[in-house]
Amino acid sequence: MAITISINSATADAMLADLAGRTSNLPGALKNIGETLVKVQRRRFMTGTDPQGKKWAPLSPLTVELRGSSGPVLNRSGRLMNSSAYQVSGSTLHVGLNTIDAAVHQFGATIVPKKAPILAIPSKGGFVFLKKAVIPARPIVGFGPEDERAARDTITEWLALDK
């Protein structure tokens, strides 16, 4: 028994040329990956999880009292989530958040008074006084399993010959 495979040389050449063109356009591929990773990063605000899938720390009882509600964590106005962005520079892709307070949420922070012995935090009934305020890390930016899957799927789609 014999199997015969017939390949149209012109079609094969065109497909290989198309594939070669796509693999030489690294900035284009990185742009697609960046758009995908921003979507994954924004989903973290909906699920309240870090890049490894671990739940973020809940709001402190004081924060819940000051806000008047217990949620959502890091997504009350959408400002931080909507600051998700990417930038392609040559062969480098940067994905992150474009707000001044993003690092506080990513890494956590301890806020202490600079010029007074205590912090005065405005509340509905006046002020709440604290020696310090501790904000736990709630990582948003990173490259976890979901990011890896999304990047692989994007690359696979980018290189697909049946576009």
Q: What average pLDDT score do residues 1-26 get? A: 63
Overall domain count for the chain: 1
Q: What is the pLDDT of residues 83-123, one digit of tens each?
A: 999 999 988 999 999 999 999 999 999 999 999 999 998 88
Tell me what pLDDT residue 16 has. 62
- Residue 25, domain member (yes or no): yes
Distance CA 107, CA 120 (A): 23
Tell me what pLDDT residue 161 has. 56
- Residue 144, domain member (yes or no): yes
- Residue 52, domain member (yes or no): yes
- Residue 14, domain member (yes or no): yes
Domain that holds residue 98: 10-104+137-159
Count Cβ atoms within 10 A of the Cβ of residue 138 and give its class: 0-12 exposed, 13-18 middle, 19 or more buried.
Answer: buried
- Residue 53, domain member (yes or no): yes
For residue 160, give every residue at least 6 positions away whose Cβ sits within 8 Å of its Cβ, in sequence order, or none. none
Tell me what pLDDT residue 14 has. 66
- Residue 92, domain member (yes or no): yes
Distance CA 98, CA 107 (A): 15
- Residue 3, domain member (yes or no): no
CA distances in angstroms from 75 to 22, 36, 66, 70, 121, listed in the order given: 37, 20, 16, 11, 21
In this structure, what DSSP letter does residue 93 have? E
Supply 67's token pair. 């806000």
Tell me what pLDDT residue 24 has. 67
User: Whole-prediction pTM value?
Assistant: 0.79
- Residue 38, domain member (yes or no): yes
